[in-house]
C-alpha cells in the first residue's frame, strides 16, 4: 500500500513539474535599436596650420643726410602715401652747397663758351679747351649731387601704408647710415599669412594624391580660411600663393604663404592665427554619426553593426577627425552597413535585435584632417 502511494505521489510531482515548465515566464523580448545606413560621399579634407601674419610690404624709414629734424609732418598710426613728406631735416647747409655748385657750374659753362671759338681758331690749345669742358661736366654733376642732398632733407615715405610711431622728435640729430630707423611703414591690404606644415605630412598628402586616394581641390575649394586668436573666423577668404622649396632643418617643416584681403585692417603684422587649408577631396568617404562610435578602455574606437541576420557585431574601426557631429571612418566600415546609434547599452556581440532606420541628415561634406591622420597615409 505504501509503495502504491509513493508511485502515485511521484507521478503527480512529475506532471506538476511538466506543467510548470510549459507555463513558465515568456522569453525575453528582442531589443530594439536605431541604426543609420552608411553611404559614401565626397569629403573635403582640411588641415589647420599655425601661422603668423606678415605685411606684404614693410619699410624702415631712415635719413640719407645728416642734420637736425625741424618738423615731423605725419600723425602716428595713420595712412600715408608713397612720396609723402614725413620729416624735414634742416636744409640750410645743403641749400648753400647747392647754390655754390650752381654758381661753379655757371662759371665753368661760361669758360667753355669763351674757349670754344678760340679753340676753333687755334688761339688756345685743344687740351685747354678739353679741360674746360671736363670741368664744366664735373660742375654739372656736383650740381646734381647737391640737388639730391637738398631733396634728401625732405624725408619721404618710400611706400604707401600705415605708419608707426616716430622714434625721433623735432630737434634730434640724425645721420646718414645710422642704425636706428626714424619710423616704419607697413602695407596692410592685402596681408600675408605664413604657416608651417610638416614635411612628413606633405609627403603623405602627395602620396595620397598620386595614388588616387585624394583628389586635388578645385580652384574654388582651394580657398584658405583663418581662425583668429580669440577663436573667431576671419570674414575674408585667402589664396595660397607659394610654398618654400626647402625644408627647415630645425623644425622639419615647410613654409606656406597665403594672401588675404584686409580692407579694414583687422589683421595686423605679427598676429598668431590658424589657417584652414584644403588638403584634398576624398571622393568616396564615409561619415558615421558621433553617437555610433564608442571607445574601449584602451581608447580604440568601435561601432556595433547590425548584420543581415539581425545579429549584432562589435567592430573595431579607424577614424579620422570629427566635424559637425560625424566621424570620418577611414577603415573598418563599408557603405551599406548599418551602425547602431541608439540602444547600444542594451546589446552585445551575437545578440539578435530588431532595428529601424534613424533619420540622419547632414549636407556637410567637410572634415578637418589632423596632421597625423592615418587616412592621408
The pLDDT mean for the chain works out to: 82
Instruction: Please enumerate in sequence order all residues whose Cβ is within 8 A of that of 165, keeping only pairs 6 or more positions apart, or say none.
Output: 76, 77, 183
Q: What is the pLDDT confidence band of residue 361, given thresholds at 50, 70 and 90? A: low
Q: What is the pLDDT confidence band of residue 47, given thresholds at 50, 70 and 90? A: confident
pLDDT one-digit tens code per residue, 266-286? 999 999 999 887 777 777 888
Give pLDDT, residue 205. 60
Instruction: Please enumerate in sequence order all residues whose Cβ is within 8 A of that of 146, keeping only pairs 6 or more positions apart, or say none.
Output: 94, 97, 98, 100, 101, 102
pTM over 0.75: no
Angle at 376 between CA 247 and CA 223, to 5 degrees: 75
Average pLDDT over every residue of 17-29: 55
pLDDT above 80 (res 114): yes
Q: What is the pLDDT confidence band of residue 195, given thresholds at 50, 70 and 90? A: confident
Quote the cell numbers at residue 32.
530594439
Instruction: Tell me if domain 32-43+283-357 and domain 63-180 are identical in fold.
Output: no
Kindly report which listed range (33-47, 69-83, 194-208) carries the lowest average pLDDT score. Answer: 194-208
Where exactly are the structural domains of the chain? 32-43+283-357, 63-180
Distance CA 88, CA 173 (A): 12
Looking at CATH, the fold of the domain delimited by 63-180 is given as OB fold (Dihydrolipoamide Acetyltransferase, E2P) (2.40.50)
Q: What is the pLDDT confidence band of residue 376, given thresholds at 50, 70 and 90? A: very low
Q: Give residue 36's Cα distance to chain centre.
A: 36
Average pLDDT over every residue of 130-148: 93
Average pLDDT over every residue of 177-197: 91
CATH number of 32-43+283-357: 2.40.420.20
Cα separations (Å) of 332 from 304, 317, 376? 11, 4, 16
Amino acid at each position: 500500500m505504501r509503495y502504491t502511494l509513493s508511485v502515485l505521489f511521484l507521478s503527480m510531482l512529475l506532471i506538476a513539474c511538466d506543467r510548470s515548465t510549459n507555463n513558465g515566464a515568456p522569453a525575453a523580448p528582442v531589443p530594439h535599436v536605431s541604426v543609420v545606413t552608411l553611404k559614401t560621399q565626397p569629403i573635403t579634407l582640411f588641415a589647420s596650420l599655425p601661422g603668423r601674419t606678415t605685411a606684404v610690404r614693410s619699410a624702415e624709414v631712415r635719413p640719407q643726410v645728416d642734420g637736425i629734424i625741424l618738423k615731423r609732418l605725419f600723425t602716428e598710426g595713420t595712412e600715408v602715401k608713397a612720396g609723402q613728406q614725413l620729416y624735414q631735416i634742416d636744409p640750410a647747409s645743403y641749400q648753400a652747397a647747392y647754390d655754390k655748385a650752381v654758381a661753379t657750374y655757371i662759371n665753368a659753362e661760361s669758360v667753355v663758351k669763351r674757349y670754344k671759338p678760340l679753340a676753333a681758331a687755334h688761339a688756345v690749345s685743344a687740351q685747354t679747351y678739353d679741360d674746360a669742358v671736363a670741368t664744366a661736366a664735373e660742375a654739372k654733376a656736383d650740381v646734381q649731387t647737391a640737388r639730391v642732398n637738398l631733396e634728401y632733407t625732405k624725408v619721404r615715405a618710400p611706400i604707401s601704408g600705415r605708419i608707426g610711431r616716430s622714434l625721433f622728435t623735432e630737434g634730434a640729430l640724425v645721420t646718414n647710415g645710422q642704425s636706428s630707423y626714424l619710423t616704419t611703414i607697413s602695407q596692410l591690404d592685402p596681408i600675408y599669412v605664413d604657416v608651417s606644415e610638416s614635411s612628413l605630412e606633405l609627403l603623405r598628402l602627395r602620396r595620397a594624391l598620386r595614388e588616387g586616394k585624394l583628389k586635388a581641390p578645385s580652384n574654388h575649394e582651394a580657398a584658405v580660411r583663418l581662425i583668429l586668436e580669440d577663436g573667431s573666423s576671419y570674414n575674408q577668404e585667402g589664396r595660397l600663393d607659394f610654398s618654400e622649396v626647402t625644408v627647415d632643418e630645425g623644425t622639419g617643416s615647410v613654409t606656406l604663404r597665403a594672401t588675404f584681403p584686409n580692407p579694414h585692417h583687422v589683421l595686423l603684422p605679427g598676429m598668431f592665427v590658424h589657417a584652414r587649408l584644403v588638403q584634398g577631396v576624398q571622393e568616396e568617404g564615409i561619415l558615421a554619426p558621433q553617437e555610433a562610435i564608442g571607445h574601449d578602455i584602451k581608447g580604440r574606437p568601435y561601432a556595433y553593426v547590425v548584420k543581415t541576420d539581425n545579429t549584432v557585431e562589435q567592430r573595431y574601426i579607424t577614424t579620422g577627425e570629427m566635424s559637425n557631429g560625424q566621424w570620418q571612418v577611414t577603415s573598418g566600415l563599408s557603405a551599406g552597413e548599418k551602425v547602431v546609434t541608439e540602444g547600444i547599452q542594451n546589446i552585445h556581440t551575437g545578440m539578435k535585435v530588431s532595428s529601424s532606420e534613424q533619420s540622419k541628415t547632414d549636407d556637410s561634406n567637410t572634415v578637418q584632417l589632423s596632421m597625423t591622420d592615418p587616412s592621408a597615409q
